Structure 1
Amino acid sequence: MVAVPVIRTRPRRGDERARSVATGGPGDPLVDRFGRVHRDLRISLTDRCSLRCTYCMPEQGNEWLARTSILTVDEIERVARVAAASGITTFRLTGGEPLLRPDIVEVVRRLSAIRTPGGAAIDLAMTTNGIRLAELLEPLRAAGLGRLNISIDTLDPVRFRELTRRDRLDEVLAGIAAAAASDLRPLKLNAVAMRGVNDDALIDLVDFALAHDAQLRFIEQMPLDAGHTWDRASMVTRSEILDALSTRWRLTPVPGRGGAPAEKWALDGGPATVGVIASVTAPFCGDCDRLRLTADGQLRNCLFSPGEYDLVPALRGADRTATDTSVDAVLRACIAGKLPGHAIDDPSFLQPTRGMNAIGG
């Protein structure tokens, strides 16, 4: 018997989940009701982090997921293989901070061995804060990691300490230097643009990225902090970011974005580029091809979704012979319930209960 997907949700006006129907079966493409074909699975490995960024987590009082609820390597691999069989071609490992997971190299080794139905290798990427990267980069590379995104919001030690509540900038910079010296490309550096924190240093961040053969990607601050303190009025917008960069470089839009979250601009004609992820002021929901798996086995069809689809019964239920079919059924139910957009500008929008560290970036 195929497990019935369990949906954990809070109601939202305009939610069409009740009218959604999962279609297809194992091996069929993961296509939602709006024709979006899903090819990207973000896999969170832990909700824990070595930093306490103000836009993500409170400094104290965090309620961590129970250790027993965290998916094992076998369970992660099982979900990934089912997803790859139905057209997922990219796995991105996230957290929290994925490098805090003791078996991170084994996770990478297992996932890098997965192939698409046509025999192609999976695109395996990781988003990290860079702490521990200098010591783990070579084992991760040998295990099959393909590329990296590293978060760096400021280069100023005092601002870094105030923003992250930790004095670990030197470790982050060492991780970035190690990545730049490796052959993992493209290398991307992520920076959340924040008023009064780094909005006066956007050009400096791009210069730093260029010096490390990396692309800087600015991210509009999103309503995903665990403390629910996000204020749109204090957010640095896509338009403001581009205006600031235009004082230094001639920006030319790069075509062919596809389902990528970042718009790219060539700097002075290229080849160097800069990206902007404008989830709030210029959402790209119409081309979204992503699903998210939380560290405790919940599927999410949108970063801002109020609902989750529980994979744990399919992974840990008694009927192991139906596991793959059951996992596929939950994947398809999640896809079928996906809305056309995140509706941040709608009065009915509810910020997710989980913070970014527990959802996975």
Structure 2
Amino acid sequence: MSAIPVTIGRRAALSLDSTPVPAGSPLVDTHGRVHRDLRISLTDRCSLRCTYCMPEQGNEWLAKTSILTLDEIELIARVAAADGITTFRLTGGEPLLRTDIVEIVRRLAAIEGPDGRPVEIAMTTNGIRLPEVLPGLAAAGLGRLNISIDTLRRDRFHELTRRDRLEDVLEGIAAAAASGLRPLKLNAVAMRDVNDDELVDLVEFAIAHDAQMRFIEQMPLDAGHTWDRSRMVTQDEILGALAQRWELTPVPGRGGAPAARWTLDGGPHTVGVIASVTAPFCGDCDRLRLTADGQLRNCLFSTTEYDLLPILRGTSGEWEQDIDGMLRACVRGKLPGHAINDPSFLQPARGMNAIGG
């Protein structure tokens, strides 16, 4: 695919209603939301087996032949950037399991938008390989890091992830804290009777590493479809626990960010909460997702995917135009919200590791 010419912006794509839309126009859905963020899953495989994400055994991994190549990822990213995407977040599974991860970051970081500004490259990781690869990632152009850490207790970590790797994660966080990548964010899924007694400890740990702690309401995205709303720790409960230790003040100007933020005792430190269940932020969502096997998704909870593989591996010769058209079709098909709180809600067939964080 390296021989495919990239001539973004010269053709027109068709939206779902067949109205010509010039390639390079912003990706705007039927509800007026402009899309600027593309989350790119690099693999469905992971070095951990978190209970809220995937089974310990019996996982059906994506076929290696279906996984997007470096050239395919770059081509999609170039089209997306020409259409106004300004941030690419690399996810998984665990993105650091890709042996070409540094080259992926280097290729994507070299992409510029229509205004000539380079795109921003972010990554969500469990941090296990960070000490060995972070210097190369930073030199290649990685701008921001989110690291998952649900507990600071070794026994609890082992039970939750089915792997005894807490020390490796902590070393990865230390490496990130020592780097110049900021803001550094630490993510934890808040779970009742699992880690809800560690909320204050996790925030204090983040502060000690010059990072922002972000708590995530547990969502119905586990591969086993065992999510139980009653086991979810809500945003109000999280804030209530933290208010016993700090004075919390809302930070205005959230925009399309998934986390609402509060300052701690007037700042400078903040804490974030991603409350997709009890306080949905769908009205400001500016994100699209690309799975490791080339499926576009317009919502984390979508049951519809837009398949790019036939385009990428076809012989039409119109790859850029066709990718642009698929991006626009995906955006135009986006619903007003995820409907988690509607009785008709259906959990996606894919687990979180296969969709991308």
TM-score range, shorter chain: over 0.9
1:267 deviates by 0.4
What corresponds to 1:66 in structure 2? 63
Q: Is 1:156 the counterpart of 2:156 in the alignment?
A: no
What one-letter code is carried by the residue in structure 2 that aligns with 1:167?
D
For residues 164-203 of structure 1, the aligned pairs below 5 Å read 164-203=161-200
Deviation string 1:31-73 (CA, Å, 9 cap, x unpaired) is: 0000000000000000000000000000000000000000000
Match of 2:353 among 345, 351, 357: 357
The residue that corresponds to 2:129 in the other structure is 132
Give ranges in structure 1 of 5+ residues lacking alignment.
Answer: 6-18
Partner of 2:52 in structure 1?
55
Q: How far apart, CA to CA, are the structure 2 residues paired with 1:274 and 1:246? A: 11
Is 1:31 matched up with 2:23?
no
CA RMSD of aligned residues (A): 1.5
The 5-angstrom pairing of residues 202-281 of structure 1 reads 202-281=199-278
Distance in 1 (CA, whole Å) between partners of 2:17 and 2:37 is 21
Q: 1:22 to 1:343 in 2, by over 3 A?
A: farther
How high is the TM-score relative to the length of structure 2?
Answer: 0.95
| Aligned match for 2:293, one of 293, 296, 304 | 296
Query: TM-score under structure 1 normalisation?
Result: 0.94
**Per-residue deviation, residues 278-316 of structure 1 (Å, max 9, x unmatched):** 000000000000000000000000000010000111111
Distance 1:194 1:148 in 2: 23
> Partners in 2 of 1:91 and 1:303 — Cα distance?
16
% identical aligned pairs: 77
CA contact (8 A) 1:193 1:218 kept: yes
- Please, which runs of 5 or more residues in structure 2 have no aligned partner? 1-10
In structure 2, the partner of 1:327 is 323
Higher-RCO chain (CA-CA 8 Å, sequence separation at least 6): 1
List structure 1 runs of 4+ shifted beyond 6 angstroms: 19-23
Output the CA distance in 1 between the equivalents of 2:216 and 2:145: 16
Q: Deviations over 1:217-258 (max 9, x none)?
A: 000000000000000011000000000000000000000100
Deviation of 1:25 after TM superposition, in Å, equals 3.1
Q: Which amino acid aligns with 1:102?
A: T
Instruction: Tell me how far apart the structure 2 counterparts of residues 311 and 302 of structure 1 sit (CA, whole Å).
Output: 16
Number of equivalences: 346
Change (3 A) 1:21 1:54: farther
Instruction: Give the 3-state SS of the residue equivalent to 1:150 in structure 2.
Output: strand
How far apart, in 2, do the equivalents of 1:90 and 1:351 lie?
A: 27
Secondary structure of 2:39's match? strand
Q: 1:21, 1:333 within 8 Å by CA — same for their partners in 2?
A: no
